Amino acid sequence: MGRLHYLAVLAATVAIAAAMEMGESHDPMEYMNPDDRPEFNPINAGSKTAHWIFAVALLVLLPSVSAAFACADRLKVSVPLQLVSCVYSVVESLFLRFPDNTDNHENRTSYGTSWFLSIWLGAVVFIGTFLQGSNAVMNKFYPHLADNSASGRLTTAYKWLSSLGVLLGFIRVMLAVVALFGFCYGGHTGQCLAHGIMGTAFIAYSFILVLVLLIPWIRKHQLADSDSSKYFSQEFWDSTVICLWGIVNTFTEHRWGDEPWWMGDYQHTAMGIIWWCGGLLGMWLSRGNRRSWVPSIILVFTGWSMSEHTQHTLISTKVHMVFGMALMAAGITRVIEICFMLKDRATTPDGKIRAFQYFPPFCLTLSGLSFMSANEEQLELVHKLGSDHSAYVLVVTGAAFLIYLWFNLTITLYLWLVGYDENGEIVPDTFTRLEQQTDFELGDLSDAEEFHD
């Protein structure tokens, strides 16, 4: 393990040296005289900021709390919380906008997402009240259906819809930022889509890894069942998604036969090629519930490639480099966790979580948020405000810490509601060992009684 530490230090040293070498080529905007910078005078900055903070609280944080209660079958709490979010979303769609600083209007994508989220939350509230038996419409006009409201499939659907509503709320507040600053029009639309989709995907991947790590009956399944070959390892699913996305990337980043190739086409198409090639290998090596290093190595190569992408401005190049370094760190530490710490097992021999295991998902959160924050217009605004890449990266890293804290708190809240913590079932003065759950679904998360000895 000592040699691994030396290798990690050496890799970090090489990366820092490369960053210093890249910093020798000066961007004319990098050292702009403060008197020569164009003024940035936002309109109603205070009220817009307050509006966005309220949106984060009521469309992201509150739905995540209600989703935890929903998955724990606490409908008496989850439904009223979802009703609050739904009412706020409708009011915001009708009367509150996120206007930009030039034309004083909200773009159609952000406005449409607001209405879509309102409809989604309305459907969640409707199903929740139906399951709870308090849906006035169903009780009055369809009483025969109301008598059969406790459907297992409908309950599972309610939990899925509640959880996906958190993702929609996250997308909505991110698009609100785009609308406020007037980003992503014209030729910038494609880049905004790429950064938004891929950045969100890395953050979602981080959440999945945290979920698998913290939920004890998922993490400890090999301890309770000696014949685990009937299951699929995390790396099998990772490799499958990487392979499919690589195929999409290979054939959509360039219009084959319709336009000439340029550097960006080569970079992104080549990235798609390594994804589906590596994804196929990962699927094969991780068959039979075996662990694999392949998805992590794909992250390393992807991060290295992104750190080498030369951008139009120095600040953009350096922020992309930070994104690449975070992604490489996620891949390298994931390999160390799988191959050297866990030694191909799903968990440690005693089933406890080691501190090091929290690090790879955080690196994914940081890489995703860094990529979302690295589009051209954002970084141009950072220049106009007189900041540099180091201050900007520190702010983005702080936001990544908060998002990662949010993930952990939400999952911990759910576990507490069903009588568990990350180590197992909570009982007086001791913990009981978890038994294997045969088929894991989101709808089965709350069935804690199945895991009692």
Range of the domain at 362: 188-424
Query: What is the pLDDT confidence band of residue 346, given thresholds at 50, 70 and 90?
Result: confident
| pLDDT greater than 90 at residue 304 | yes
* CA dist., res. 329 & res. 5, Å (int): 13
Based on the fold, state whether residues 178 and 195 are members of the same structural domain.
no
Mean pLDDT of 370-391: 87
Mean pLDDT of 371-391: 87
| pLDDT greater than 60 at residue 186 | yes
**More confident call, 219 vs 87:** 87
| pLDDT greater than 60 at residue 146 | yes
Based on the fold, state whether residues 358 and 384 are members of the same structural domain.
yes
| pLDDT greater than 80 at residue 253 | no
What letter would DSSP give residue 438?
S
Query: What is the pLDDT confidence band of residue 1, given thresholds at 50, 70 and 90?
Result: very low
**Which pLDDT score is estimated for 393?**
93
pTM above 0.75, yes or no: yes
Give a yes or no: residue 266 inside a domain.
yes
**Which pLDDT score is estimated for 119?**
96
Give a yes or no: residue 337 inside a domain.
yes
Closest CA to 409 of 4, 158, 154, 64: 64
**Which pLDDT score is estimated for 426?**
67
Asked if 30 and 122 count as a contact pair (C-beta separation under 8 A), the reply is no
**Which pLDDT score is estimated for 421?**
75
Q: What is the longest distance spanned by two Cα atoms in the chain?
A: 75
Based on the fold, state whether residues 197 and 167 are members of the same structural domain.
no
pLDDT in tens, 19-59: 444 444 444 444 445 445 555 566 777 888 899 999 999 99
Across the chain, mean pLDDT equals 81
Based on the fold, state whether residues 161 and 264 are members of the same structural domain.
no
Based on the fold, state whether residues 346 and 197 are members of the same structural domain.
yes
Based on the fold, state whether residues 224 and 166 are members of the same structural domain.
no
Based on the fold, state whether residues 176 and 193 are members of the same structural domain.
no
Least confidently predicted of 37-41, 172-176, 417-421:
37-41
Based on the fold, state whether residues 66 and 120 are members of the same structural domain.
yes
* CA dist., res. 327 & res. 364, Å (int): 6
Task: Give the total number of structural domains in the chain.
Answer: 2
Query: What is the pLDDT confidence band of residue 224, given thresholds at 50, 70 and 90?
Result: low
| φ, ψ for residue 431, nearest 5 deg | -125, 140
**Which pLDDT score is estimated for 17?**
41
**Which pLDDT score is estimated for 258?**
72
Task: Using the 3D structure, point to which of 131, 158, 182 is the last residue of a domain.
Answer: 182
Based on the fold, state whether residues 175 and 201 are members of the same structural domain.
no
Q: Count CA atoms closer than 13 A to 171's CA, side-chain side.
A: 22
* CA dist., res. 236 & res. 443, Å (int): 22
**Which pLDDT score is estimated for 149?**
56
Mean pLDDT of 122-133: 90
* CA dist., res. 235 & res. 221, Å (int): 15
Give a yes or no: residue 25 inside a domain.
no
Residue type, 215: I
Based on the fold, state whether residues 230 and 85 are members of the same structural domain.
no
Neighbour-count burial for 436-446, b at 16+ CB within 10 Å, e otherwise? bbeeeeebbbb
Give a yes or no: residue 278 inside a domain.
yes
Count other C-beta atoms under 10 Å from residue 14's C-beta: 10
Give a yes or no: residue 405 inside a domain.
yes
**More confident call, 13 vs 279:** 279
**Which pLDDT score is estimated for 97?**
86
Give a yes or no: residue 368 inside a domain.
yes
Give a yes or no: residue 251 inside a domain.
yes
- CA 347, 349, 355, 360 torsion: positive or negative? negative
Based on the fold, state whether residues 204 and 230 are members of the same structural domain.
yes
Based on the fold, state whether residues 275 and 166 are members of the same structural domain.
no
Residue type, 430: T
DSSP annotation string for 249-314: HHHHSS-TTTS---HHHHHHHHHHHHHHHHHHHHHHHTGGG---SHHHHHHHHHHHHHHT---SSH
| pLDDT greater than 80 at residue 79 | yes
Asked if 333 and 360 count as a contact pair (C-beta separation under 8 A), the reply is yes
DSSP annotation string for 320-372: HHHHHHHHHHHHHHHHIIIIIISTTSSS-TT-PPPGGGGHHHHHHHHHHHHHH
Give a yes or no: residue 202 inside a domain.
yes
